[in-house]
Amino acid sequence: MPWLISRPSQIFLTDEQVLMCPDIMSTGFGGAENGQIRIGDTVAIFAQGPIGLCATAGAKLKGATQIFTIDTVEKRLEMSKRLGATTTINYKTHDPVEVIKDMTHGRGVDVAIEALGTQTTFESCLRVLKPGGVLSSLGVYSGKLTLPLDAFAAGLGDHKVVTTLCPGGKERMRRLLNVVASGAVDLKPFVTHRFKLSEIEKAYDLFANQRDGVIKVAITP
């Protein structure tokens, strides 16, 4: 009996659908991958800028079933919900360490992802980790970074700290494009503002000062 083979139609992706793949998406997903998230894991992601949001989406795809996201901007927390977060925490109004410890019955999380690059968020990641947990660092630190003895369990917590530098290459991009094409994640909403090339100074000023709810800016030549 002959086999009936159907070939999928070719999928065309727009520029804005794949705009985040070479940098933001690859880095955020890399944080989830290097954190070695497994099906059923509990994960906390500190900071929900574009990279942190991608880490949230990556954690969901990797199989995490409880995902805490932490930020001070409600719109970004709302977006993290759409990408897979199960609990959002506004750092302005709640202590994320206390909330996470309470909601995990003191156990802590399997993986904590740091996506801001500050001493405070790095420490918070350590404080919510369970013994044997993984801290996956994506932040770029501009000052001195220290490991407090209590947060680091005096070195006896069997913690692992890993860092990620934007994975690239043809095979990496093929995989990320497949994720976008499948509809598993939609990163188009990251582009909140659009400018012409002649308006590039205005665009950089908006982004640098984080006005008007900006997440990412697209500049079209």
Domain count, the chain: 2
Question: In Å, what is the CA distance from 180 to each residue of 67, 77, 155?
Answer: 21, 21, 40
Which residues, 6+ apart, have CB-to-CB distance to 151 below 8 Å?
A: 123, 126, 127
Q: What is the pLDDT of residue 95?
A: 98
Q: What is the pLDDT of residue 154?
A: 87
pLDDT band at 143 (very low <50, low <70, confident <90, very high): confident
pLDDT band at 1 (very low <50, low <70, confident <90, very high): low
Q: How far is 4 from 14, CA to CA, in rounded Å? A: 31
Contact in structure between 166 and 152 (CB atoms under 8 Å): no
- R_g (Cα) of the chain, nearest Å: 19
Residues 123 and 200 in one domain: no
CATH number of the domain to which 32 belongs: 3.40.50.720
User: Within a domain: residue 122?
Assistant: yes
The range of the structural domain enclosing residue 93 comes to 16-163
Q: How far is 27 from 35, CA to CA, in rounded Å? A: 12
Length of the chain as a residue count:
221
Residues 122 and 193 in one domain: no
User: Within a domain: residue 180?
Assistant: no
pTM for the predicted model, two decimal places: 0.91
Q: What is the pLDDT of residue 108?
A: 97
Q: Percent of the chain, pLDDT > 70?
A: 95
User: Within a domain: residue 7?
Assistant: no
User: Within a domain: residue 6?
Assistant: no
